[in-house]
């Protein structure tokens, strides 16, 4: 049995189980990505908060740069986008928020 959820219900599911894993904006980015991913693969994505938290993270951009061992040049006009591009090359997904955090797919 599947249930379709909207952005509000998606956020509430995380707030109930894992309130500190993603920011308000980070959850919106993740929701939109997962909806698009489901459309792209022709299969609905299951709302499993624990599994999603295992697969995706949100951290400060410098923490993410350090984790992926990436340098972000200070002269770069858009360092967040440049960092996301480098992460996308490795993982397929990374987007930044207005709070200078990055939501990304974890690499194991």
| Rounded mean pLDDT, 16-29 | 97
Residue 47 lies in a domain: yes
Whether 21 is in a domain gets the answer: yes
Residue 27 inside a domain? The answer is yes
Residue 84 lies in a domain: yes
Q: Is residue 31 a part of any domain in this protein?
A: yes
Flag whether 1 is in a domain.
no
- The total number of structural domains in the chain stands at 1
Q: Which domain holds residue 21?
A: 7-105
Work out the pLDDT band at 71, boundaries 50, 70, 90.
confident
- Per-residue pLDDT, averaged over 11-33, amounts to 97
What contacts 94, CB < 8 A, 6 or more positions away? 64, 83, 84, 85, 87, 88, 102, 103, 104, 105
User: What does DSSP say about strands 94-96 and 56-60: parallel, antiparallel, or unpaired?
Assistant: unpaired
- With 0.85 as the threshold, say if the pTM is over it: yes
Q: What is the pLDDT of residues 37-47, one digit of tens each?
A: 999 999 989 99
- Is 2 a domain residue? no
Of residues 92 and 75, the one with the higher pLDDT is: 92
Q: In this model, does residue 87 exceed pLDDT 70?
A: yes
């Amino acid at each position: 049995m599947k249930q379709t959820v909207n952005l509000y219900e998606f956020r509430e599911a995380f707030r109930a189980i894992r309130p500190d894993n993603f920011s308000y904006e980070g959850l919106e980015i993740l929701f939109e990505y997962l909806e698009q991913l489901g459309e792209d693969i022709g299969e609905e994505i299951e709302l499993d908060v624990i599994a999603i938290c295992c697969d995706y993270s949100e951290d400060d951009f410098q923490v993410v740069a350090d984790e992926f061992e990436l340098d972000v040049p200070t002269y770069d006009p858009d360092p967040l986008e440049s960092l996301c591009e480098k992460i996308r090359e490795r993982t397929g997904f990374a987007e930044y928020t207005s709070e200078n955090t990055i939501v990304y797919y974890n690499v194991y």
